[in-house]
Amino acid sequence: MTLWKGTLLIVMFLGALRIAKTCQNTVMSCPSTCAVASDLERDEELINRQMMQLTQNMSTLCQRIKRIQMKREEKQQRHRQRNMELTNLISRQQATVDLLTESRNRLGDRSREVTEGTNDIRRLADENRVLEDRIQQKVVSARSACSVTMETTCPGTIVGRDCAEIYNFGGRTSGAYLITTGSTDVLRLVYCDQDTDGGGWTQIHSHATNDVEFNRDWQSYKSGFGQVSCNGDGNYWLGNENIHSVTSQTHQHMRVDVEDWNGASRFALYTHFGVGSESTDYTLTVSGYQGDESGDIGDAFAGHNFGISDDVLITKHKGMPFSTYDRDNDKYMTGNCARHGSGGWWYNSCSAVNLNGKVYEGGYYQKSDTIYGYDNAMIWGPWKGLWYSLKKTSMKIRPASFHSTVQT
Ligand SMILES: [Ca+2]
């Protein structure tokens, strides 16, 4: 039985009960109604039981409803709890995303700072190199102003086109002389070796100390620089224009003398030597090597194998143009051999011999001693390697016909 039907019966019963009591208290004029009431009264007990049953049912129903409501509230509570957990999780994830975004932005900023810093360092390095070159040029200018001097104790009264001619004119004592070079007849001070192997040698290069800077520009190597001494231990370069002038007059021999820090002296003789004009960038011609009988030091101008198969090819100086730090004519595509080697020379890529490099006291030196990390000493590779500085070197030239001239 449903609830609303139970309620209707109760209402009908109570109405009938009132009618029955009215009939008891008054004389009924309608027996049929009283009879009905009487019947209903008789059923009161049954109805009361049914009422109790209904009440019980309602109570049970109410308890079920309460349980359902409690379960629903529990579910709602769990749902709210889960929502809170999800909300917290989303918040934490959002915080993580924010943190990662911030970190990425910081990394981007740091990366940009590193890039800008690297660019600044490169720019500063470039500016530093330009500054070094300017300082170097000022040092060269300052030293050139007082570098070439003639000492009064040197014999030098005889003048000739070269030392061979001076010898033939009677200048038989080694020392400083004046020679005429080129068509302009400019007098040039030079050391004449009139003793070695019959004399007649014009010294075009002498290097024994770092008192004179050899890391000079094109113009300086073109015109010559340094100091000529009376005993042949000066520091000078006769000048590419002068060397070209002398070597273009006649077939020349060239002799290189080298000395190490233990007092050992050697030489290399070349039966052909010449330097082209400036239009060829003073290209070197050298051949006909003859070693020293007391110890062959090797033909360094032909290149040398330092341990890699193509070393000879890339260190060969024969046929190479002259290079200075401000005029790169070498074959080293990614660098400047003259800058690395601390002096002008006929570099290939780069050198087996460099007599215009620096002098290192004691001979042995290492990368950390250099500016650029490359060998930059005064070297003769086949004899002592790249990392041994010679103590003293000289280059002398003499006409191939000199001996016959002396004999006549
Ligand atoms: Ca180069």
Q: How much distance in Å is there from the Cα of 5 to the middle of ligand 1?
A: 114
Q: How much distance in Å is there from the Cα of 347 to the middle of ligand 1?
A: 9
pLDDT at 91 over 60: yes
Q: Are 253 and 270 in contact (CB under 8 A)?
A: yes
Lowest mean pLDDT among 153-157, 220-224, 324-328: 153-157
Q: How much distance in Å is there from the Cα of 272 to the middle of ligand 1?
A: 27
Lowest mean pLDDT among 224-238, 253-267, 385-399: 224-238
Q: Are 392 and 207 in contact (CB under 8 A)?
A: yes
Report the pLDDT averaged over residues 319-335.
96
Residue 138's pLDDT band, with cuts at 50, 70 and 90, is low
Q: What is residue 27's predicted lDDT score, i.e. its pLDDT?
A: 47
Pairing mode, strands 159-160 and 175-181: parallel
Could you read off the pLDDT of 189-213 as tens digits, one per residue? 899 999 999 999 999 999 999 999 9
Pick the residue with more confidence: 104 or 16? 104
Q: How much distance in Å is there from the Cα of 115 to the middle of ligand 1?
A: 28
Report the pLDDT averaged over residues 241-252.
92
Residues 256-273: b if buried by 16+ CB within 10 A, e if exposed: bbbbbbeeeebbbbbeeb
Q: How much distance in Å is there from the Cα of 327 to the middle of ligand 1?
A: 9
Closest CA to 402 of 165, 158, 191, 156: 165
Pairing mode, strands 252-259 and 392-399: antiparallel
Q: What does DSSP assign to residue 245?
A: H
Stated as kind and residue range, the H or E segment containing 192 is: strand 186-193
Q: How much distance in Å is there from the Cα of 168 to the middle of ligand 1?
A: 43
pLDDT at 25 over 80: no
Phi, psi of 197 (to 5 degrees): 50, 40
Q: What is residue 113's predicted lDDT score, i.e. its pLDDT?
A: 87
Could you read off the pLDDT of 29-73 as tens digits, one per residue? 555 777 766 776 777 888 788 888 888 888 888 898 899 899 999
Q: How much distance in Å is there from the Cα of 246 to the middle of ligand 1?
A: 29
Q: What does DSSP assign to residue 153?
A: T
Report the pLDDT averaged over residues 390-398.
98
pLDDT at 7 over 90: no
For 118, the token pair is: 């690297």
pLDDT at 274 over 60: yes
pLDDT at 404 over 50: no
Pick the residue with more confidence: 235 or 139? 235
Lowest mean pLDDT among 2-11, 117-126, 283-292, 356-365: 2-11
Percent of the residues in the chain that have a pLDDT greater than 70, as a whole number: 83
Q: How much distance in Å is there from the Cα of 237 to the middle of ligand 1?
A: 22
Residues 142-176: b if buried by 16+ CB within 10 A, e if exposed: ebbeebbeeeeebbbebebbbbbbbbbeebeebbb
Q: Are 253 and 400 in contact (CB under 8 A)?
A: yes
Q: How much distance in Å is there from the Cα of 287 to the middle of ligand 1?
A: 25
* Average pLDDT of the chain, as a whole number: 85
Q: What is residue 310's predicted lDDT score, i.e. its pLDDT?
A: 81
Q: How much distance in Å is there from the Cα of 322 to the middle of ligand 1?
A: 12
pLDDT at 405 over 70: no
Q: How much distance in Å is there from the Cα of 150 to the middle of ligand 1?
A: 37
Residue 4's pLDDT band, with cuts at 50, 70 and 90, is low
Residues 357-378: b if buried by 16+ CB within 10 A, e if exposed: bbbbeebebeeeebeeebbbbb
Q: How much distance in Å is there from the Cα of 348 to the middle of ligand 1?
A: 9
Q: What is residue 14's predicted lDDT score, i.e. its pLDDT?
A: 66
How large is the angle between the packed helices 44-144 and 3-25, nearest 10 degrees?
150
Q: How much distance in Å is there from the Cα of 300 to the middle of ligand 1?
A: 20
Q: How much distance in Å is there from the Cα of 325 to the middle of ligand 1?
A: 9
Stated as kind and residue range, the H or E segment containing 379 is: strand 379-380
Q: How much distance in Å is there from the Cα of 128 to the middle of ligand 1?
A: 19
Backbone conformation region of residue 30, classed left if phi is above 0, alpha if psi is from -120 to 50, else beta:
beta
Q: What is residue 146's predicted lDDT score, i.e. its pLDDT?
A: 38
Pick the residue with more confidence: 94 or 364? 364
Map residue 56 onto helix, strand or coil.
helix
Q: What is residue 150's predicted lDDT score, i.e. its pLDDT?
A: 42
Find out whether the peptide bond into 163 is cis, omega within 30 degrees of 0: no
Beta strands in 210-322 (DSSP E): 225-227, 235-237, 252-259, 265-275, 284-290
Q: Are 393 and 236 in contact (CB under 8 A)?
A: no
Q: What is residue 1's predicted lDDT score, i.e. its pLDDT?
A: 47
Between CA 323 and CA 338 the distance in angstroms is 6
Residue 17's pLDDT band, with cuts at 50, 70 and 90, is low
